[in-house]
Structure 1
């Protein structure tokens, strides 16, 4: 099990990065890129929802990672509750101004709990649609946040907006075929 101070440090450092970066964003930038930077209490709540395996590997996809708040919350929880689980994280973040903060959070994650990270500096939606278009099977989890993209938002309910967009673009049929 991780030493309590290492998980406290992960949570504290990540939240400090989130607050500092969030204060630097304009509303126009935040809206254009869909940047919301999940606060620590919400990240902990979301991270508490899935069941964790007691051993083996856990794969985490963070498609709009920002500074890594959700990833850090999952790693913090695993450090406390699943010390025998190795985490494999893939993050996507299109905003170059966030890459250093995300790298620092991922480094903190790896120092807190056995974690292997892959940081992708590209647009998740473009990557996922190219994977779908290639005919490769894609887990539904890849598409979780697609409805948050500003160009896709219609109703404001991301799951519905994402599903409608996938249907319009022909991807739902590809997933069901």
Structure 2
């Protein structure tokens, strides 16, 4: 099932997401299949629960599309993740977001991230990622913390983007995937 992507302006994108109960009613295998299907339909490399209107601590990534030669096999599910450490040099890279179409800006992040999480089989992992994969993990992790990549921009840059962001929340943006807008 392909979910609509919730656009900038929805409160769910600004809320810290809730843990998923292993013994609860959520079928995480079905949810992750749907999230991957939704992400691929939108040509994304990552997707978090809040982006499909679900305030849940879950995200999926498939970094292969960013750099097929070096990032093959980085298709992963992160349930109830917690970042343990971010380290290394900070480096800038242009980021975008499925919830904020047509806007890309340079964001500075640390080069390594160590994260503890469960996969779709409820197996626990603690892994360290670096480079582009670390960036994707940090970006998606921000989503479950209620943070958007635009929050990392300077006040000046945010002011310059304010009109475009307001337009996105009203559905005044070209997009080629299923979206939902708060004021449309």
The TM-score normalised by the length of structure 2 is 0.29
The higher radius of gyration belongs to 1
Between Structure 1 and Structure 2, which shows a larger proportion of strand residues? 2
* Structure with more contact order per residue of length (Cα contacts < 8 Å, sep ≥ 6): 2
Between Structure 1 and Structure 2, which shows a larger proportion of helix residues? 1
